[in-house]
């Protein structure tokens, strides 16, 4: 269960939020008092997490003499998180790209690690507009898609062996 708590924390849940949510998934509809008792935490911290989870759309609340709470299905929550994440990524890409200095400059990159090298080569091929010179000792199949895409965009690709 600690692994699940850690994974949920990676999506913005606090530890207590994760424990409360997991408790509601396991036990179904429950009161704040019962949740606090089940997970051995103070009622004030549990109610604080219940507020967070409710505001973030992770749980339902039923009004009545005693308020009870129920977890939304993980499918609903993670499709909501996925949509928000994709939207945020698109906004950040757009806004941060606008801030980037656009002047053309020559630059020599010092890249460490094979995967980092391949990633940088893919990035440069994707951004190329006129011409690319490739001088490498690894198989170009690793960059085949990016090379083909560049050629389709009208980029002249020259390889040395």
Q: Which residues have C-beta within 8 Å of that of residue 73, sequence separation ≥ 6?
A: none
> What is the location of CATH 1.10.10.10 in the chain?
2-76
- 33-47 residues labelled b (16+ CB within 10 A) or e (exposed): ebbbebeebeeebbb
- Could you tell me the two tokens for 61? 């609340």
Q: What is the pLDDT of residue 65?
A: 82
pLDDT tier at 98 (50, 70, 90 boundaries)? confident
**Fold classification of 2-76 (topology level):** Arc Repressor Mutant, subunit A (1.10.10)
* Average pLDDT score over residue span 76-104: 88
Q: What is the pLDDT of residue 108?
A: 78
Q: Which residues have C-beta within 8 Å of that of residue 122, sequence separation ≥ 6?
A: 143, 146
Q: How large is the angle between the packed helices 32-39 and 43-55, nearest 10 degrees?
A: 120
pLDDT above 70 (res 103): no
Q: How far apart are CA 146 and CA 136, in angstroms?
A: 15
Please state the pTM of the whole predicted model: 0.61
pLDDT digits (tens, 9 = 90+) for 49-69: 999 999 999 999 998 788 999
As beta bridge partners, residue 160 has 135
pLDDT tier at 137 (50, 70, 90 boundaries)? confident
Instruction: Report residue 148: phi and psi, to 5°.
Output: -60, -40
């Amino acid at each position: 269960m600690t692994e699940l708590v850690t994974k949920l924390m990676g999506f913005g849940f606090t530890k207590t939020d994760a424990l409360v949510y997991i408790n509601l998934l396991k036990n179904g509809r429950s009161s704040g008092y019962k949740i606090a008792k089940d997970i051995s935490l103070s009622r004030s911290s549990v109610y604080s997490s219940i507020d967070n989870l409710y505001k973030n759309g992770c749980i339902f609340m039923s009004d009545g003499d005693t308020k009870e709470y129920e977890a939304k299905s993980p499918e609903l929550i993670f499709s909501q998180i996925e949509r928000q994440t994709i939207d945020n990524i698109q906004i950040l890409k757009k806004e941060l790209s606008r801030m980037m200095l656009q002047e053309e400059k020559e630059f020599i990159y010092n890249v460490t690690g094979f995967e980092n090298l391949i990633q940088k080569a893919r990035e440069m091929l994707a951004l190329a507009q006129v011409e690319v010179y490739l001088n490498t000792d690894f198989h170009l199949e690793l960059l085949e898609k990016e090379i083909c895409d560049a050629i389709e965009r009208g980029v002249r690709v020259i390889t040395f062996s």
